[in-house]
Chain A
């Protein structure tokens, strides 16, 4: 291993790493669904453009 050995306190814990990755993928998926729902709402209310 190269470089200085750091105390564990400075390293991102595994639970935070997992939350970061799975959270980001979940949020991206939710974003896509939100856009589709908003488009349907806009089309129904004739406010698409």
Chain B
């Protein structure tokens, strides 16, 4: 395929974009009618069942990065690259018991930052908010960019138009429907993604059977089948910790723990882990199929769609287009909702204490709109000259680089969160130091050693400081402080007794 040529006619791309865009907005608005108050808008009434719960957790974690980075990992790091990506499902699995604990300790909670504020104090809250917002915006921006780049490379839809359309669609239905819209659309999107990935995988294996791919790799690229590939093994552990850090700290996952019906959170996250587990291999092997099929890869970060479209032609490009659109929407909507909640509850609410539920609900919609606009501005192709591809001249580099820049930040938050949820010991100073020094060490490692070590180093430093903090204090935290309603009840009882 020559430069500038696309796999899908632009008219098809526009039609799919418009069709699915309208579908998600209408579905989101319809489902969002249930969002009558703030609790409905932000945590879907705290009554979400297992099917919708598992689907929303899986869909959110299957991002466009999964569809694009897993094949890139496979192409560059071989079999271990795909398996390294699979370890991200361990984050969902490990979060299952945490989500149950979160639901138990904070039955009326809204955000992960609220936990940090109540558990550790305002300084730790400030550091955590900085990490959360940086990570949330990085994820949002990386996906909106991925959407624009992919639509452009698949169908020729200009980057600016594709990126804007995807973002606008997600902002509209999240803004009107809140968490009900996010969870409802996630279910449909999960089914489409699973069906699309299986369909493309089966069809590609029909053209180039696994045995043939293996034979070609053995002959031309044996390193990709090597089980002792040092860089890939480092990536394995780094990915594991990055995934755990992302899930443990992010309000995307906490808000779902608050939204699930009592007793559902643990099961939903466990099932979501198994739904997600095969996706990096099912989508990633396209990267390994490229050498076997004799496909020349100009850009590793679009190897998956390139192989699918090259082998399956227009039909393959069409399925990939839909899968990518669904994986983008299912993650962007969740991030908009969860980051919006974070800002509404942790920034707007403390500044406007006189706001009632309806007023806060209006602000929540406004925050989502502003967040969408900020993301759109950050995604504008500032460095692109006329006729130049988006990625040319990009100061940071590939999508993998952008994403993994957040690795040390989230890796440093793992230890304070886990110990904060399960141990009564642990002080604010320890949590602050663990997050700041962990992030610092991780970033140093990112620049000095490589992206595949950053989360690993950050998590290790953070764990060391946290353990030291636990060992040097005999402080005993009162769990009731995590549930403000219980504290209010106690105060009322105390004043009644004294009165």
A6 to chain B, nearest CB (A): 6
B265 to chain A, nearest CB (A): 14
Residues from 150 to 178 in B contacting A, C-beta threshold 8 Å: none
Among residues of B, the one whose C-beta sits closest to the C-beta of A49 is B48
Given contacts A1-B220, A11-B222, contact A42 B51 (CB under 8 A): yes
Q: How far is the CA of A32 from the CA of B213 in the complex (A)?
A: 27
Q: How far is the CA of A36 from the CA of B194 in the complex (A)?
A: 12
Contact between chains at B49 and A11 (CB < 8 Å): no
Among residues of A, the one whose C-beta sits closest to the C-beta of B267 is A38
Contact between chains at A29 and B225 (CB < 8 Å): no
Among residues of B, the one whose C-beta sits closest to the C-beta of A20 is B281
Given contacts A28-B282, A35-B51, A41-B51, contact A18 B210 (CB under 8 A): yes
A-side contacts of B279, CB under 8 Å: 24, 28
Given contacts A10-B228, A17-B225, A28-B279, contact A38 B79 (CB under 8 A): no
Given contacts A28-B197, A42-B51, contact A36 B183 (CB under 8 A): no
Partner of A11, one of B198, B213, B226: B226
Contact between chains at A24 and B281 (CB < 8 Å): yes
Q: How far is the CA of A28 from the CA of B223 in the complex (A)?
A: 27
B-side contacts of A41, CB under 8 Å: 51
- How many residues of B are counted as interface, with CB atoms below 8 angstroms from the partner's CB atoms? 49
Contact between chains at A31 and B274 (CB < 8 Å): yes
A24 to chain B, nearest CB (A): 4
Contact between chains at A35 and B54 (CB < 8 Å): yes
Contact between chains at A20 and B51 (CB < 8 Å): no
Partner of B214, one of A3, A10, A14, A26: A14
B-side contacts of A1, CB under 8 Å: 219-220, 222
Main secondary structure of the interface of B (DSSP, over half): helix
Partner of B278, one of A10, A31, A38, A39: A31
Contact between chains at A31 and B50 (CB < 8 Å): no
Main secondary structure of the interface of A (DSSP, over half): helix
A-side contacts of B90, CB under 8 Å: none
B460 to chain A, nearest CB (A): 28
B238 to chain A, nearest CB (A): 21
B-side contacts of A22, CB under 8 Å: 205, 210
* From B183, B195, B227, residue with most partner A Cβ within 10 Å: B227
* From A10, A14, A49, residue with most partner B Cβ within 10 Å: A49
A-side contacts of B211, CB under 8 Å: 14, 18
The digit string for B213-255, where 1 denotes a CB below 8 A from any CB of A, is 1110011101101111000000000000000000000000000
Instruction: Give B contacts to A, CB under 8 Å.
Output: 34, 44-45, 47-52, 54-55, 58, 79, 180, 183, 187, 190-191, 194-195, 197-198, 201-202, 205, 210-211, 213-215, 218-220, 222-223, 225-228, 261, 271, 274-275, 277-279, 281-282, 285
What are 30 A-B contacts defined by CB distance under 8 Å? A6-B222, A10-B226, A10-B228, A11-B225, A11-B227, A14-B215, A17-B79, A17-B214, A20-B79, A21-B281, A22-B205, A22-B210, A24-B201, A24-B285, A25-B202, A27-B277, A28-B201, A28-B278, A31-B194, A31-B278, A32-B191, A34-B275, A35-B54, A35-B187, A35-B191, A38-B51, A41-B51, A42-B49, A48-B52, A49-B180
